Chains A and B, each alone.
Chain A
Amino acid sequence: MPRVVVDVVPKPEILDPQGQAIVRALPRLGLHGVRDVRQGKHFELDVEDDVDAETLHRIAGELLANPVIEDWTVRRL
């Protein structure tokens, strides 16, 4: 059964306070050089062979992501 990965991240123009909290925390740990972090969600879907690309994009765009605030990518592994 194929595995499909959907990654969802906040759109660039949406403030991501969780990502910013990570950016601010890194120097305190002595880890430097990170300019920005966007925190998102990672979904792993085990799907039947006959699920087509359009269906996958509907799954991602209609439920897993909210297009108002988030971008997404779909990858077949």
Chain B
Amino acid sequence: MQARRVLTTPDDPQPYRELGLADDEYARILQILGRAPTAAELAMYSVMWSEHCSYKSSKVHLRYVGETTTEAMRQRMLAGIGENAGVVEVGDGWAVTFKIESHNHPSYVEPYQGAATGVGGIVRDIMAMGARPIAIADSLRFGLADAADTARVLPGVVAGIGGYGNCLGLPTIGGEVVFDPSYAGNPLVNALCVGVLRVADLHLAHASGTGNQIVLFGARTGRDGIGGVSVLASESFSASHPGQDRSRRKLPSVQVGDPFAEKVLIECCLELFNAGLVAGIQDLGGAGLSCVTSELASAGDGGMRVDLDAVPLRAPGMTPVEILCSESQERMCAVVCPSDVDAFMAVCAKWDVTATVIGEVTDGERLVITWHGETVVDVPPRTVAHEGPVYHRPVQRPSTQDAMHASTPDALARPSTPDALRATVLRMVASPGLCSRAWVTDQYDRYVRGGTVLAQPSDAGMVRIDEITQRGVAVATDGNARYCALDPYVGTQLALAEAYRNVAVTGATPLAVTNCLNFGAPTDPGVMWQFEQAVRGLADGCAALGIPVTGGNVSFYNQTADTAILPTPVVGVLGVIDDVRRRIPTGLGGTGDTVWLLGETRDEFGGSEWAHEMHGHLGGRPPVVDLAREQAIGEVLAAASRDGLVNGAHDLSDGGLAQALVEACLLSGVGARVRLPSQVDPFVALFSESSARVLLGVSGACAHRVAQLCTDHGVTVTRLGEVSAAPVLEIAHIASFTLDELRATWERTLPSLFGTPYPPERESAGST
């Protein structure tokens, strides 16, 4: 055997601190290697041991999720956390995979490309499971709607998601848009993708089999985002304002997305999967080749040899460090049996996708990377990918929590006269928190692929996955950071409850949970307390509902200077419906239907939209969460959908009953005559945000059966009134509104802030 090459000399610089490695982390690298690392090794360890890639601060807390997942909950799971994205069996031989991931910091620096590449990245994650991506949802959070920088960030992010997703041919079917001043210097862009595959075709990323070839395919490798994701996602911004100082600020290297390349890559990958030419596959995301080579090698049972000279480059003169850390988009890496390489290359050629063998699986236990005939990396791959540092960060409940709880919303002035209540309804409907999102969602293609059964503004998105059996899946994302600020444990469970309810009101049965945990700096003990509480709330909530967490993503360092964002766990729930023709549309149904309210209303205004919009107040306790009741309501809805008893349904959440009634009328295009329950104060009845409540439009003839269902499941029912032929929402003894008035009020806010997407009439008759 050839003597090992001397990889480093004592003179090689070791700028580990600049690369973000702590002293003890560097010492550990010296110990692992028994020598000083090369520049390439140092770069590799530093990106892979970053918070973004290693989960070093969150790992110890996330373990709790696995510990609380029972065998019964795992029954439908074919793959869970640890793989790129969880996979759940949904029936008829189909499996579904879904995941949500943050692209927050890049979207602040360059909103269009940041958001676009966020969509691209999550779509490749789904492809790496061997699945065909079928739908996207985006959970977005910005500073105040009328803030100057929001006018820079929001239109860019929305155009980026649309520009990438529309060109990729994936329908955008859901998501959220939330405004809060805490996101002013740190917007949240969390992109979710759903994919489907046959159960028999599940591909897991590994590199077993000595002699198997490592094939890099897709875009060429350039100097995009060197250290981009990893550095951007792990270091907070200074208080500078990029929007105001574009010319002088130093731009971090931003990756640029090519959705056309990704569309071709999807079709190419699916053809490769169908032909059985892929032994293992992984996408290239943050940390690029560093990540993919070390993860593929350590997930297999051998070593790996990689030749960087074989990597197709876009820029001349790239160093090994640059090649290894490049975050050029639209690339995938496959493990291919030697006998399949020719066929693999032929499929890539058909799609005009560049594909190159860059290495092979070896029988050693080392990842060895060469360049220009020199060994630039020689490491045990697990130490890079899986055995990174683990931190038990200090956790401390902030002393400010008590003061926040003491500052209840009880003392806030409440409207009591009919006129004041009417004015409050209109003010709330037009508020940035509750107004129509059409300005955003009309920039997304919701029709492509022809399987979209429900899309925004429906409570959940739903797509058909089988045209013969009509099986479909529904997905919703939710998160209420104000509730989480008041109580991160309960707040996270409320987010879970809302996403669960939003899936259930479509008639689908919730099956699985994914999450994106957006928090401040993990070095802040108060932030770590929020994080720990959120993880425990989520895990305990999932155990109570009996549905597993199948994947997740953590984003720390979301802050401007020293001020963290509100704790923002975003929860995604996926459900299945065995026949999409029985889905329940969001709304009230039609004339002849009766309007029912399921659930109980209490005086709960802590963290509410009303307290925020009318008083700028955040204090007290969030609404009580009752997951057993959520489950019972879900069962009522599933049965009602199965038996065709209801023609419309809408979940009650932000803004309470008033908002739900307004939206349900507008979405169904019908009026309603309702009477508020006499035992509750009208203001509380209209605006409280008590959870576990749903509005139903019940078919006239089915009232008895729905009432029986609710009794059987212990769900309280209030009959509010009926759908009316007149286009008026009439709340007895309080107010009435024409639908035209409500629609104009609901729809005008975002266009008035961000400009009308349509040109004025006739402006454009060809003259300039």
Contact = CB atoms under 8 A, between A and B. Distances in A.
CB atoms of A and B under 8 A apart anywhere in the complex? yes
Interface of A: 12-17, 20, 36
Given A15-B766, A36-B768, 12 more contacts: A12-B768, A13-B766, A13-B767, A13-B768, A14-B766, A14-B768, A15-B764, A15-B767, A15-B768, A16-B768, A17-B759, A20-B768
Contacts of B766: 13-15
Interface string B757-768: 001000010111
A30 to B, nearest CB: 12
Nearest to B759: A17
A20 B759 CA distance: 12
Contacts of A17: 759
Interface in B723-760: 759
Q: Which 3 interchain pairs have the tightest Cβ spacing? A: A15-B764, A15-B768, A13-B766
Contacts of A14: 766, 768
Contacts of B768: 12-16, 20, 36
Mostly, the B contact residues are loop
14 contacts: A12-B768, A13-B766, A13-B767, A13-B768, A14-B766, A14-B768, A15-B764, A15-B766, A15-B767, A15-B768, A16-B768, A17-B759, A20-B768, A36-B768
Interface residues of B, number: 5
Nearest to B765: A15
A37 to B, nearest CB: 11
Mostly, the A contact residues are loop
B570 to A, nearest CB: 33
Contacts of A16: 768
A12 B766 CA distance: 10
A16 B767 CA distance: 10
A26 to B, nearest CB: 14
A75 to B, nearest CB: 25
A13 to B, nearest CB: 6
A12 B619 CA distance: 59
Interface centre among A12, A15, A36 (most CB of B within 10 A): A15
A44 to B, nearest CB: 17
Interface centre among B759, B764, B766, B768 (most CB of A within 10 A): B768
Contacts of A13: 766-768
Contacts of B767: 13, 15
Contacts of A36: 768
A12 to B, nearest CB: 7
A13 B765 CA distance: 10
A39 to B, nearest CB: 12
Nearest to B763: A15
Contacts of A12: 768
A42 B9 CA distance: 48
B111 to A, nearest CB: 16
Contacts of B764: 15
B763 to A, nearest CB: 8
B40 to A, nearest CB: 33
Nearest to B246: A29
A42 to B, nearest CB: 18
Nearest to A29: B246
B753 to A, nearest CB: 15
A30 B768 CA distance: 24
A70 B630 CA distance: 60
A20 B760 CA distance: 14
A14 B764 CA distance: 9
Nearest to A38: B768
Interface in B518-568: none
